[in-house]
Amino acid sequence: MITSQFANGETATADWVDYHESFNPRGDGYQDTSSSSSGGGAGTASYSWLDVSLGSDTGGSVRGPSQVQGLYGNRPSHGLVSLDHVMPLSPLLDTPGLLARNPRIWKEAAQAMYGPNISITNTYPTSIQTLEWPTEADSIADQLLVDFLGNVTKFLGAKATAYNVSAEFDAANPEVAPLATFMNLTYALLITKQQTELVKKPFYADYAKQHNGRLPFVNPVPLARWGWGENRTETLQDGIANKTMFQTWANETFLAPSPKTCSESLVMYVGSTARTLYRNTYRDAPGIPLGFSNSRISVMAEVPDFVVPLGEAPYNSTVTGHVEYLPVTADLLAAKGCDGMLFSLIADLYDAGILKESKAGKSGVTGGEILLRRDVFGHE
């Protein structure tokens, strides 16, 4: 299961140097797989005999491949699943995760992975908070998202309301920088400072010892991240303090726990909308993972974040000169420790026909022969 170098967020062709990124089977076959758990996403989307794959999610590395390949995927509540014997990248953020096509099999595999640290519950919130969710169906992707929200709202007998994380955080914390600026620095510090100490320095030392002081080759993305972190005067402790502030606020507001339903609200945001990211496009030099997005919420608040496939939407492929289809997905968040509730809810939505199994092949909806017949290692 190929991963990007040191599990960083690389882009196909532009950043993968010593070996190729896996090929995304969906659509024209030349879309990015997202990373770092690229092989897990590509393999699970390609092969009907591969039910579940294991990946890691430090900043989005399970959820990204799940979104762009139309799979079920989860980032667990931080600390619920053991990472013993796993090479650390950023222990403050690292989690494992699973990618699957069938939510029932996904749930069973997760119960084995979590062990005693998961409780499956089937009492669900009746409040849904949406983050930047479409309200009108201006596209096929928007229609799938609007329909899904309507179906889940009806299934739960819930009330759905829009929630603006940035506005609410800024209003509650006027003494700090706006959320986007605040989280820019926080995430970048955590992902670079720990990676430098835990990955770069020991690797460079081991390599130099064996090769007469030489440096190893490293891809552009890790080099950019390590260099940025080493040139910042802010400390890891500064990043931890900021993360703790956001986590405390989030866990007391829109991601608050509930003694009855585990989480006071089900929080939903848009995952993927059939946006293209071609392998054969030249790109700018890599930068630091700056910017706040809804996918960063679970990373900072330590809450579960689960991807569910909703269907697919068309695009005009510049590769095939034909209309092809790419996945549309949504992400579900809940209070920390409510992983079992989310697995149960998603399984019930599947049983009710609101969610469906993702198929292997060119399309997650209809299957079909993959246009580019390569395996996950890039061999024809």
Threshold 0.85, pTM exceeds: yes
Report if residue 262 sits inside a domain.
Answer: yes
Report if residue 63 sits inside a domain.
Answer: yes
At residue 5, what are phi and psi to the nearest 5 degrees? -65, 125
- The whole-angstrom separation of Cα 270 and Cα 38 is 20
Amino acid 19: pLDDT: 87
Amino acid 375: pLDDT: 54
Report if residue 376 sits inside a domain.
Answer: no
Report if residue 80 sits inside a domain.
Answer: yes
Report if residue 370 sits inside a domain.
Answer: no
Tally the domains of the chain. Answer: 1
Amino acid 14: pLDDT: 87
- Spell out a b/e string for 76-106, using b for 16 or more CB atoms within 10 Å of the CB, else e: bbbebbeeeeeeebbebbbbbbbbbbbbeeb
Amino acid 147: pLDDT: 98
Report if residue 342 sits inside a domain.
Answer: yes
Report if residue 75 sits inside a domain.
Answer: yes
Q: What is the DSSP letter of 363?
A: B
Amino acid 373: pLDDT: 67
> What's 215's domain CATH number?
3.90.1300.10
Amino acid 115: pLDDT: 96
Amino acid 134: pLDDT: 98
Range of the domain at 91: 5-351
Report if residue 219 sits inside a domain.
Answer: yes
Per-residue pLDDT of the chain (380 residues; tens, 9 = 90+): 889 999 999 998 889 999 889 999 999 999 999 999 999 999 999 999 999 999 999 999 999 999 999 999 999 999 999 999 998 999 999 999 999 999 999 999 999 999 999 999 999 999 999 999 999 999 999 999 999 999 999 999 999 999 999 999 999 999 999 998 898 889 999 999 999 999 999 999 999 999 999 999 999 999 999 999 999 999 999 999 999 999 999 999 999 999 999 999 999 999 999 999 999 988 888 877 777 899 999 999 999 999 999 999 999 999 999 999 999 999 999 999 999 999 999 999 999 999 999 999 999 999 999 997 655 455 55
Roughly how many angstroms between the first and final C-alpha of the chain, as a whole number?
17
